[in-house]
Amino acid sequence: MARCWFIFDLFTIFANSIFFFCGHILIVFWKYGVYVSQLLLTNLDFVDCKRKLILKNLLDKLVSLNLVPIINENDSISTDEITFGDNDILSVQVSELFNADLLIILSNVDGLYRDVETKDVVSFVDNINSTVYGVISSVKSDFGTGGMQSKIIAAQVAAKSNIMTVVSNINRDCVIKEILNGDDVGTLFSLSVK
């Protein structure tokens, strides 16, 4: 069983939240020595200034404790008024909270396909135009809600906050390490796509 050890003031506003999230450690990561914490959010967590500040401080605290936040939309309580629509937009909002330089969106595709049949990947996009929209597959995966169009919109929104975006395949071994090393794995959307 996974355990979390903390040394900090138990009377801080984060104590209860951190222990709660720590209780949701995903065992699949634990066996690799990576400790994660699951957070379920709604759009209200980003719209309400007080909630957004609490979330930012909580995320900073989790990261400082070497816990990797796994963030997802809280579908069980989300309504049309407070939903993100998909995790691509949620990932942009979290990236903005962290003042990130790079957003990595992992999917079941290798990136933006120039040709879906041959799976020829466009490695770099610096302009969203009719050509790009022409190659977008409108087919959504069985697991997600957004499809490639949602990822492109997320890349555009991220670029407005000076965050570049990479879309790559989650099934690729060491994909995050490869992306951080600058390897050509997936599609990189530059800051000019805004």
C-alpha span between 175 and 3 (Å, rounded) = 28
- pLDDT-derived band of residue 92, with 50, 70 and 90 as boundaries? very high
Length of the chain as a residue count? 194
Percentage of the chain surpassing pLDDT 70? 70
| Mean pLDDT over each residue of the chain, to the nearest integer | 78
Instruction: Please choose, from the candidates 15, 67, 91, 77, the residue with its C-alpha nearest in 3D space to the C-alpha of residue 42.
Output: 77
β-partners of residue 68 are 36
C-alpha span between 96 and 103 (Å, rounded) = 9
CB crowding 61-74: b at 16 or more within 10 Å, else e: bbeebebebebebb
The tokens for 107 are 């999917």
Which CATH number is 84-194 given?
Answer: 3.40.1160.10
Q: Where are the domains of the chain?
A: 9-82, 84-194
Residue 43 confidence (pLDDT) above 80: yes
Percentage of the chain surpassing pLDDT 90? 34
- Residue range 126-180, pLDDT digits in tens: 988 766 776 664 444 454 456 888 899 899 999 999 999 999 999 998 999 999 9
